[in-house]
Amino acid sequence: MSTTTGVQALVRRTHEERVLAALRAEGALSRAGLAQRVGLSRTTLSEITAQLLDRGAIVVLDTDAAVRRGSGRPAERLALDPSAGQYLGVDFGHRRVQVAIADASHEILASGLERYDDGLAWDERVSLAFDTIDRLSSEHGLHLNALQAVGIGVPGPYTGRHGDHSVVAWNRGATPDGVDRSFATRFDAPVTVDNNTRLAALAEAVSSPEGASDLVYVRLSDGVGGGLVVGGRLTRGARGFAGELGHVTADPAGTVCRCGKRGCLETLASVPAILAACRVQGADVTDLADLAAAVERADPVVDAVLRRVGSVVGHVLGAAAMTLDPVEVVIGGEIAHIAPAIVEQAARTLRYELYSIPVDGPCQVRAGRLRDSDGAVGALAAIFHQSPLLAGYPEPETSDERNTRRSAQ
């Protein structure tokens, strides 16, 4: 992408955002009213509105003929098209895809979920996602002609753009190579793809009232993943595994991890590992519902297990916090809500780990605001907040670039 094209695209996008924001606030405006409100020249404004009309982001609502005094052509009044989905968030998990469609004001118009088997091929996952998007659009009477951007979360490390997906030996299942191209071709909109846990870290950062510029995120789920927001930016690292806290060694003599090492955090703090540890101690828990019930009745065996897990998580987070000095440390995953003892103990351990740092107060440790069922929201956050949190991140592909690349293939 040439810098000029990038800057022009950014300026156009900024203008569009201003026009959409004005229509969002006012409901409907004439072009003259809009020009006055957003401070653009009539020429620039009519280019911008023509593009928005062309894409179906806005519609001509009516004319001011009925209320107009004097002579001259009646002025058209423009308004947001309430049926235009402008942003698409898609979250591919190991066993399900979630989709959320948002409008110009970033409000979610429709969302849905489709389950699949762990081993389903990526092209079939993508076509299930397309089916879900079609179903939601028709159920809610939406169109996606004005789609501004698509954000996609995928499991496992993701290093680059244009389907440059790093194959990491311990990444479960096939790699989602070409997912971005499939969506770009289907929707003709810029596509941003990243690891879904990392997108959740970004969503947690922007969900903070002041926006956490430095944040450490760990998610305890089927596996353990994480993400880092550093200096207001989501960080991938040199090879795409920045923030993979699940594979930090927590017990050198522990059990073998799927990555091949021994005693990774994941072998102790993933949901299956926690449930297994409860059973070893004699507690009858096979799933999260059982665990929730045990927490509810203050089962001392389960509580002891959860506190041990919290302590292990706190040690690993302590090392990360010592490295990054974050504003917030966030523990995500349903289990952080079901078992607050984990978060409490992790916070206690982290305070101990950072004991030597002479500061007024330690960083905040909290459970994630997003639930596991909010994956698509993380993908939307990535495209809503491309700046400043995503500043410096690989830019989404433009349609020009896409055409160039297609013709080269």
Contact residues for Zn ion, defined by CB under 5 A: 247, 257, 259, 261, 264
Measured from the CB atom, the residue of 79 and 276 that comes closer to Zn ion is 276
* Shortest separation between residue 169's beta carbon and Zn ion, angstroms: 11
Rg, C-alpha atoms of the chain: 24
Measured from the CB atom, the residue of 85 and 333 that comes closer to Zn ion is 333
Instruction: Please list the residues that pair with 262 across neighbouring strands.
Output: 256
Instruction: Please list the residues that pair with 164 across neighbouring strands.
Output: none
Q: What is the rounded distance in angstroms from the CA atom of residue 254 to the CA atom of residue 265? A: 10
Instruction: State CA 171 to chain mean position distance.
Output: 20
* Shortest separation between residue 240's beta carbon and Zn ion, angstroms: 16
* Shortest separation between residue 183's beta carbon and Zn ion, angstroms: 31
* Shortest separation between residue 95's beta carbon and Zn ion, angstroms: 21
* Shortest separation between residue 268's beta carbon and Zn ion, angstroms: 11
Torsion of CA 131, 173, 89, 398, to 10 degrees: -100
Say whether 2 sits in a helix, a strand or coil: coil
* Shortest separation between residue 251's beta carbon and Zn ion, angstroms: 11
Q: Transcribe 122-134 into DSSP letters.
A: HHHHHHHHHHHHH
Measured from the CB atom, the residue of 44 and 249 that comes closer to Zn ion is 249
Measured from the CB atom, the residue of 15 and 247 that comes closer to Zn ion is 247
* Shortest separation between residue 342's beta carbon and Zn ion, angstroms: 19
Sequence-ordered list of residues with C-beta below 8 angstroms from that of 369, at least 6 positions apart, any chain? 204, 207
Measured from the CB atom, the residue of 153 and 246 that comes closer to Zn ion is 246
* Shortest separation between residue 149's beta carbon and Zn ion, angstroms: 34
Closest CA relative to residue 21, chosen from 46, 56, 54, 58? 58
* Shortest separation between residue 326's beta carbon and Zn ion, angstroms: 23
Measured from the CB atom, the residue of 109 and 245 that comes closer to Zn ion is 245
Say whether 367 sits in a helix, a strand or coil: strand
* Two tokens, residue 205: 């950062």
H/E element, 202: helix 196-207
Q: What is the rounded distance in angstroms from the CA atom of residue 192 to the CA atom of residue 380? A: 10
Q: Transcribe 253-288 into DSSP letters.
A: TSPBPTTS-BSBHHHHHSHHHHHHHHHHTT----SH
Span between the terminal Cα atoms of the chain, in Å: 18
Measured from the CB atom, the residue of 268 and 379 that comes closer to Zn ion is 268
Measured from the CB atom, the residue of 162 and 261 that comes closer to Zn ion is 261
Measured from the CB atom, the residue of 212 and 248 that comes closer to Zn ion is 248
* Two tokens, residue 373: 């069922």
Please classify residue 34 by burial: count the beta carbons closer than 10 Å to its beta carbon, then call 0-12 exposed, 13-18 middle and 19+ buried.
buried
